[in-house]
C-alpha cells in the first residue's frame, strides 16, 4: 500500500501520513464504524416493531440505564483522531537505549508488518473450524517447528500471555503431572517481577514457594546452599525453577541445576530467552545436564514485535514429547497444532488436545487461558523464517560485538567497572559504579541516552551499586558513539589493567540451530496464500456468537505502530514515556465512566485473566475483613468454561457451586436462594455473565446482587457481552463489584486467530484500594505519573499489560466519543434482534421457552426433532448434527456460528453492529437456505463443507497420533480454495445452494 498524506481541515493539526487511503475502505470511514445507513436502521427498527434505538432497552429497569452522557469527549473526525494519536505518540522521548532487562528488544524483520496487514490472518477467530482456518493453523505450525528447532523441545504451545504467566503455568503443569507435594523452589535470581506475579497467583491457593538464595560474591545462585536445601528437603519440593540468564544478566550453571533436579527426581523448569538460543548463542535447554530440563518458559514478544511499552507479550512454554517422555503433555496448558488428514486424505493441520481446555473441562482444565497471544506466534514464526539461520546468527554476533566494545571502553575508565567479572555473561553487561545509580542514569539521560537499569537491589544484602546494560542488534554505531561520549565525559580514564571471563563452552550452543531460510518474496507470497485460506470480518458477517466479531479499524493498527507507542520500553523513565502513560490514563478514566464504576485496572490481558483479577480482589477484600474462610463461588451452569477454570485457579476448586437456569435461560431465583441460604456464611461471591450466553439480559441481576451483598459476598460480572450494553447500563446501579471488558470483542481489537486478546477490569469502591499493577494519575502540571494502590494484591503482568491494544481501544474511543458508545451497543442489539425476527419463523430457538423475551446482541437457533431424525437417517448422528450444520455456513462464505455452547444443540449467532441491512439480509437468506437443505436434502449436511480448501478433518486420528513439530526444511504445501471466500460472498445464495446440490447430483 502506498503512503497517503492527508491534510486535516483543522488548521491547528499537522497533516498525517497514513499507509493506506481510508476512503478505499467503506467500513473504515463510516460514523462510529457502523456501516448501516439511517434508512437501514429505520427499516430494521420497523421490522422489530420499534421506533427508536433506545426502545431496544425498554424492557430493562429504567433506573439502571445511564441518564446522562458518558464523560467521554465528543467523537473526532477520522483525520483529527489520527492527528491526535500522532501528537500523543510524539510525547515519547525515544533515546538510544541499553535497557533490555524484563523485555529484550531486537530487530523485527519488515516482513512482520507486511503480514500484520493480511487481515484474514490478523482478524480471524481461533481456528475452531479447521476447514476455513488452515491459514492460521499453518502459521502456528511453523512457530511450533521453528521454536522446537531452537529449544530442542518437541511440544511448544501457541501461546501463553507472557514470560511470568508461562512460568506460573509451567509450575502448575509440573505439579499436576508429577503429583509431588510441597513448595516450589524458585531461584531468587529470577526477575523480581516474575516472582511477584507467582506470589500474587499463589495467594489463597496451596501453592507455596521457597527462594534459593543468590551468592553475593558471584551474582548467581549459591549452588552450595541450593544443594543443601535439596539434600535436606528434596522429598518436599515439587519443582525447581531457574533462569538461564539471571536477573543480573549473568549465566547460571544450567547443567548443574538440571542434574540436581534430576538427582532428586524433581521436575525442572528453565526460564529461557529463545532469541539467545540461535547459532552462536546459548546452550538449548534440551541439552542442559545429562537429560535436559523437563519444561521451559520464557518471553518471545521480541521475536514478533517491538517493546510496545510491554505488550502484547508472548509467553513461551514447552514440554518434551518424544519416545522417552510423553506423560507431561496432557497436563500442559495452552494450545497446540497437530498434523492431520482430511476425509480425502489431504495433509492439513488442526488444533489438538483441546480436551484439556476450559471449554470442555471447566474447573478441571489444565489452565484458564482462553484467548491467548496467537497472532504473535504467527508473526514470530514469520520473523524467524525471514531472518533465517544466518540472520539470527548475525544478530547475536552484532549484539556480542557491541557488548565487547562497550566492556572494553568501561575497562578503560575509573568510577565504573565490570561487576562480577569472573562470572560469565552473554549479551548483558553488569557494571558497578561509585555514585548513586539513579543520579548516573539521570546524567546519562541528560546526555541523550538510556544507559541501563539500576539492579542494585537484586542481590539481598548487597552493598554494590549495580547497573545492567543489554545489547542486541538494535544498537547502531551511532548509539555506541553516544554511549562512548557519555563514558568519556562522565568517568576519568583509568590506567589499571582489567579483564573479563568469556562464557565457557559448556554454557554455549555447540551445534548450529539449522533454521531454514527463505527469500522475502517467497515468504510474503506464501503468507498471502495462507491468508486466502481464512476469512475475515472485513468481508462480511462473521456470526460467531459470544465472540463479537466486529470490524477492526485500520486506524487502530496504524496508531499502535506509531514509534512513540511501539518503540517505548516499559522500563524507560516515566518522563520519557508520557505518551503511553497518557493513553493508559485516559483509558482508565474513560472506562470508569463507561462502566459507572469507581476504579479500573488496565493490566489484565484477556477476559479470563480479568476474571482471575476479580476473584483475587474478592479474596483480598474478604481477608482484609478477617473473613478469609469465604470460599464459595456461585456460577450459573451455562457460564463460559473460563469462569469455572478461573475459580479453580484462584483457589476455589472445591468451592464452586453451580446455579441452575430457569426455562427462560436466566438464573433460577429459587435455586439461587436455596444455594445462598446453604452457603451464606462462606459465600465469597458470584460470577454472572450479563447479558447471558443465551443473549438475554439477566433481569434479576440487581436483586441477586443485593442478596449476595447481604450475605457478605461480592458480585463479578463477566463482561464478555458488553457489546450489548456498554454506555447504556450503569453497572454500579445493578450491584457489580468487578467486571472485565474484553477489548478483543467490544472494543475492536483484532482476534488474531486466537489472540492477543486484552481486558480492562473495572471495580466498585470496595475494591479500589486492592487493584493490581500501577495506577496512573495526572499531575497538576499535566504530566502523568504511576503509583501503587494502597493494598494492591500484586501484579498480573510483568509490565503494563497488552499496551499496544490499549492504544487500539483508545483510537476506537476517539472515533466513537460519548455518543458513539451507546450507539454501538444499540446497533449491535438491533442487528441481532432484526435477524432473530427474520429467522425465528424458520428455526426453533433456544432457550425453548424464551421465545418472547427480547434478545440482546445474540441469539440461539436449533433444529426440530424431525430435522434431527432426518439427518440421522441421512447418516448424521444427532451428536454431530449441529457441528455439521455449522460447516454448511462455510459453504456460503461465512464462518460458522458458535456451535454447542452454551446449548449442546444450539447455533449461537451474533452479527454485531458492523454490517449493512443488505449484508444482514444476505446472511439471513443463507441461513434460511441452510434450513431448506437440512429439511429437503439432508444428505448434503454430512458431506459439508464442500467449497473450503480441505474437507472435514479427521480430528480423532490427529489427537491419537500426535505430531506437534518436525524439522522444517521447506514451507508446508498448501491446499487450494475450491471457491475463493470472496467469490462465495459475491455469489447468489441460490447459486451456492444449487452448486452444493450439483455435487450430489441433485437439483432444486
Residues that bind ligand PLP (CB under 6 A): 370-371, 546-547, 606-608, 640, 642, 689, 693, 718, 720, 742, 757
Q: Which helix (H) or strand (E) holds 902?
A: none
Nearer to ligand PLP, 802 or 862 (CB): 802
**Min CB(693)–ligand PLP separation in Å:** 6
Q: Which three cell numbers stand for residue 695?
A: 443473549
Find the shortest distance in angstroms from Cβ 647 to ligand PLP.
12
C-alpha cell at 747: 472494543
Q: How many CB atoms lie within 10 A of CB 2?
A: 6
| Least distance (Å) between residue 57 CB and ligand PLP | 20
Residue whose CB is nearest to ligand PLP in the complex, by number: 607
Q: What's the min distance (Å) between Cβ of 506 and ligand PLP?
A: 42
Alpha carbon distance 369, 164 (integer Å): 14
* Torsion region of 357: left, alpha or beta (phi above 0 gives left; psi -120 to 50 gives alpha): beta
User: Of 578 and 742, which CB lies nearer to ligand PLP in the complex structure?
Assistant: 742
Residue 433 or residue 899: which is nearer to ligand PLP going by CB? 899
CB 816 within 8 A of CB 75: yes
Rounded least distance, CB 238 to ligand PLP, Å: 27
Best CA proximity match to 686, nearest among 717, 719, 661, 664: 717
Report in angstroms how near the CB of residue 311 gets to ligand PLP at its nearest: 14
Which CB sits closer to ligand PLP, 556 or 943? Answer: 556
Which residue lies nearer to ligand PLP by CB, 269 or 547? 547
For ligand PLP, the closer of residues 127 and 452 by Cβ is 127
Q: CA-CA distance, 866 to 863, in Å (whole number)?
A: 8
689 versus 792: smaller Cβ distance to ligand PLP: 689
- Closer Cβ to ligand PLP, 395 or 742, answer by number: 742
Distance CA 247, CA 905 (A): 52
Instruction: Write down the least CB distance from residue 689 to ligand PLP, Å.
Output: 5
Q: How far is the CB of 373 from ligand PLP (least distance, A)?
A: 11
Residue-wise DSSP of 515-546: -----HHHHHHHHHHHHHTS--TTTS---BTT
- Smallest distance, ligand PLP to C-beta of residue 940, A: 30
| Beta-carbon-side half-sphere exposure of residue 613 (alpha carbons within 13 Å) | 35
Give the nearest distance from C-beta 353 to ligand PLP in angstroms: 18
Distances (CA, A) of 429 to 188, 244, 400, 804, 868: 19, 15, 10, 29, 68
Report long-range pairs for 524-527 (Cβ below 8 Å, ≥24 apart).
524/111, 524/114, 524/115, 526/971, 526/974, 527/111, 527/114, 527/115, 527/118, 527/121, 527/139, 527/382
Cα atoms found within 13 Å of the Cα of residue 785, Cβ hemisphere only:
8
Shortest Cβ 509–ligand PLP spacing (Å): 36
Among residues 886 and 893, whose Cβ is nearest to ligand PLP?
886
Choice between 241 and 547, CB closer to ligand PLP = 547
Who contacts 644 (Cβ-Cβ below 8 Å, separation ≥6)?
358, 362, 363, 365, 635, 656
Closer residue to ligand PLP, CB minimum distance, 547 or 615 = 547
Q: Where is 656: in which H helix or E strand?
A: strand 656-659
Nearer to ligand PLP (CB atom), residue 154 or residue 718: 718
Secondary structure E strands in 833-955: 845-846, 859-861, 898-899, 907-909
Q: Which long-range contacts (CB under 8 A, 24 or more apart) does 394-397 make?
A: 394/473, 395/106, 395/107, 395/275, 395/278, 395/472, 395/473, 396/275, 396/276, 396/278, 396/279, 396/280, 396/281, 396/427, 396/473, 397/280
What Rg, from alpha-carbon coordinates, does the chain have? Answer: 28
* Shortest Å, Cβ 255 to ligand PLP: 38
Amino acid at each position: 500500500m502506498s503512503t497517503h498524506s492527508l491534510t486535516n481541515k483543522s488548521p491547528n493539526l499537522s497533516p498525517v501520513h497514513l499507509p493506506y487511503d481510508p476512503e478505499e475502505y467503506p467500513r473504515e470511514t463510516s460514523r462510529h464504524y457502523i456501516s448501516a445507513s439511517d434508512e437501514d436502521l429505520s427499516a430494521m427498527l420497523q421490522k422489530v416493531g420499534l421506533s427508536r434505538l433506545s426502545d431496544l432497552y425498554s424492557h430493562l429497569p429504567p433506573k439502571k440505564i445511564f441518564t446522562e452522557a458518558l464523560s467521554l469527549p465528543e467523537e473526532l473526525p477520522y483525520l483529527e483522531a489520527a492527528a491526535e494519536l500522532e501528537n500523543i505518540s510524539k510525547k515519547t522521548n525515544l533515546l538510544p537505549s541499553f535497557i533490555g532487562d524484563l523485555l529484550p528488544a531486537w530487530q523485527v524483520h519488515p516482513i512482520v508488518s507486511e503480514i500484520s496487514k493480511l487481515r484474514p490472518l490478523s482478524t480471524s477467530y481461533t481456528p475452531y473450524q479447521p476447514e476455513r482456518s488452515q491459514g492460521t493453523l499453518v502459521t502456528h505450525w511453523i512457530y511450533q517447528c521453528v521454536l522446537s528447532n531452537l529449544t530442542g523441545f518437541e511440544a511448544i504451545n501457541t501461546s501463553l500471555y507472557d514470560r511470568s504467566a508461562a512460568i506460573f503455568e509451567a509450575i502448575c503443569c509440573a505439579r499436576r503431572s508429577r503429583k509431588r507435594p510441597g513448595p516450589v523452589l524458585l531461584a531468587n535470581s529470577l526477575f523480581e517481577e516474575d516472582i511477584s506475579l507467582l506470589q500474587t497467583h499463589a495467594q489463597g491457593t496451596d501453592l507455596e514457594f521457597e527462594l534459593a538464595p543468590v551468592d553475593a560474591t558471584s551474582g548467581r545462585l549459591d549452588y552450595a546452599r541450593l544443594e543443601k536445601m535439596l539434600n535436606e528437603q528434596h522429598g518436599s519440593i515439587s519443582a525447581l525453577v531457574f533462569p538461564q540468564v539471571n536477573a543480573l544478566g549473568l549465566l547460571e550453571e544450567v547443567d548443574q541445576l538440571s542434574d540436581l533436579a534430576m538427582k532428586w527426581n524433581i521436575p525442572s523448569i528453565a526460564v529461557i530467552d529463545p532469541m539467545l538460543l540461535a547459532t552462536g548463542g546459548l546452550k538449548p535447554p534440551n541439552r542442559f545436564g545429562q537429560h535436559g530440563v523437563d519444561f521451559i518458559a520464557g518471553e518471545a514478544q521480541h521475536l514478533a514485535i517491538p517493546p510496545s511499552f510491554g505488550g502484547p507479550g508472548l509467553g513461551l512454554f514447552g514440554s518434551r514429547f518424544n519416545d522417552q517422555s510423553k506423560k507431561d503433555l496432557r497436563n500442559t496448558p495452552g494450545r497446540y497444532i497437530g498434523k492431520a488428514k482430511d476425509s480425502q486424505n489431504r495433509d492439513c493441520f488442526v488444533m489438538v488436545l483441546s480436551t484439556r481446555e476450559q471449554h470442555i473441562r471447566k474447573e478441571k482444565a489444565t489452565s484458564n487461558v482462553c484467548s491467548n497471544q496467537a497472532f504473535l506466534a504467527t508473526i514470530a514464526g514469520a520473523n524467524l523464517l525471514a531472518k533465517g539461520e544466518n540472520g539470527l546468527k548475525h544478530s547475536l554476533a552484532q549484539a556480542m560485538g557491541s557488548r565487547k566494545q562497550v566492556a572494553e571502553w568501561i575497562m578503560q575508565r575509573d568510577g565504573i567497572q565490570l561487576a562480577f567479572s569472573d562470572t560469565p555473561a552473554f549479551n548483558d553487561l553488569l557494571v558497578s559504579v561509585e555514585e548513586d545509580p539513579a543520579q548516573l542514569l539521570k546524567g546519562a539521560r541528560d546526555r541523550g541516552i538510556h544507559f541501563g537499569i539500576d539492579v542494585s537491589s537484586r542481590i539481598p544484602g548487597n552493598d554494590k551499586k549495580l547497573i545492567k546494560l543489554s545489547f542486541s542488534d538494535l544498537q547502531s554505531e551511532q548509539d555506541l558513539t553516544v554511549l562512548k561520549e557519555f563514558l568519556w565525559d562522565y568517568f576519568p580514564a583509568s590506567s589499571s589493567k582489567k579483564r573479563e571471563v568469556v562464557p565457557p563452552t559448556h554454557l554455549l550452543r555447540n551445534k548450529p540451530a539449522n533454521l531454514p531460510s527463505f527469500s522475502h518474496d517467497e515468504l510474503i507470497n506464501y503468507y498471502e496464500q495462507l491468508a486466502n485460506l481464512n476469512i475475515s470480518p472485513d468481508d462480511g458477517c462473521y456470526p460467531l456468537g459470544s465472540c463479537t466479531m466486529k470490524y477492526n479499524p485500520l486506524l487502530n493498527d496504524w496508531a499502535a505502530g506509531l514509534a512513540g507507542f511501539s518503540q517505548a520500553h516499559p522500563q524507560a523513565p516515566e518522563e520519557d514515556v508520557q505518551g503511553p502513560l497518557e493513553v493508559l490514563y485516559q483509558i482508565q478514566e474513560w472506562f470508569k465512566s463507561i462502566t459507572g464504576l469507581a476504579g479500573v485496572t488496565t493490566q489484565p490481558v484477556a477476559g479470563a485473566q480479568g476474571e482471575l483479577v476479580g476473584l483475587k480482589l474478592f479474596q483480598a477484600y474478604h481477608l482484609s475483613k478477617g473473613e478469609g474462610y469465604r470460599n464459595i463461588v456461585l456460577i450459573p451452569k451455562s457460564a463460559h468454561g473460563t469462569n469455572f477454570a478461573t475459580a479453580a485457579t484462584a483457589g476455589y476448586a472445591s468451592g464452586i457451586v453451580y446455579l441452575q437456569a430457569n426455562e427462560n435461560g436466566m438464573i433460577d431465583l429459587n435455586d439461587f436462594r436455596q444455594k445462598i441460604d446453604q452457603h451464606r456464611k462462606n459465600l465469597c461471591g458470584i460470577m454472572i455473565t450479563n447479558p447471558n450466553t443465551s443473549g438475554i439480559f439477566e433481569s434479576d441481576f440487581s436483586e441477586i446482587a443485593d442478596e449476595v451483598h447481604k450475605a457478605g459476598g461480592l458480585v463479578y460480572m463477566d463482561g464478555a457481552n458488553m457489546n450489548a450494553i456498554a454506555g447504556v447500563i450503569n453497572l454500579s446501579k445493578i450491584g457489580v463489584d468487578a467486571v472485565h471488558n474484553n477489548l478483543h470483542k467490544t472494543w475492536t481489537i483484532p482476534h488474531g486467530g486466537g489472540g492477543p486478546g486484552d481486558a480492562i477490569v473495572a471495580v466498585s469502591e470496595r475494591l479500589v484500594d486492592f487493584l493490581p499493577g500501577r495506577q496512573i494519575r495526572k499531575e497538576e502540571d499535566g504530566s502523568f505519573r504511576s503509583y501503587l494502590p494502597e493494598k494492591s494484591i500484586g501484579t498480573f503482568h510483568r509490565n503494563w499489560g497488552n499496551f499496544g491494544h490499549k492504544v487500539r481501544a483508545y483510537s476506537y474511543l476517539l472515533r466513537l466519543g460519548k455518543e458513539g458508545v451507546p450507539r454501538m451497543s444499540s446497533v449491535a442489539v438491533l442487528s441481532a434482534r432484526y435477524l432473530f425476527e427474520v429467522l425465528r419463523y424458520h428455526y426453533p430457538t433456544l432457550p425453548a421457552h424464551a421465545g418472547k423475551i427480547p434478545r440482546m446482541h445474540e441469539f440461539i437457533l436449533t433444529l426440530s426433532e424431525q430435522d434431527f431424525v432426518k439427518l440421522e437417517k441421512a447418516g448424521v448422528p444427532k451428536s454431530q448434527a449441529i457441528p455439521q450444520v455449522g460447516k454448511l455456513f462455510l459453504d456460503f462464505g461465512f464462518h460458522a456460528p458458535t456451535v454447542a455452547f452454551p446449548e449442546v444443540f444450539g447455533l449461537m449467532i451474533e452479527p454485531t453492529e458492523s454490517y449493512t441491512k443488505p449484508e444482514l439480509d444476505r446472511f439471513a437468506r443463507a441461513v434460511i437456505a441452510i434450513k431448506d437443505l437440512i429439511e429437503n436434502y439432508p444428505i448434503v449436511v454430512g458431506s459439508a463443507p464442500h467449497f473450503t480448501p480441505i474437507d472435514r478433518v479427521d480430528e480423532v486420528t490427529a489427537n491419537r497420533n500426535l505430531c506437534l513439530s518436525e524439522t522444517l526444511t521447506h514451507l508446508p504445501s498448501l491446499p487450494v480454495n475450491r471457491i475463493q471466500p470472496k467469490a462465495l460472498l459475491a455469489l447468489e445464495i441460490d447459486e451456492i445452494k444449487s452448486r452444493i446440490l450439483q455435487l450430489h447430483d441433485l437439483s432444486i
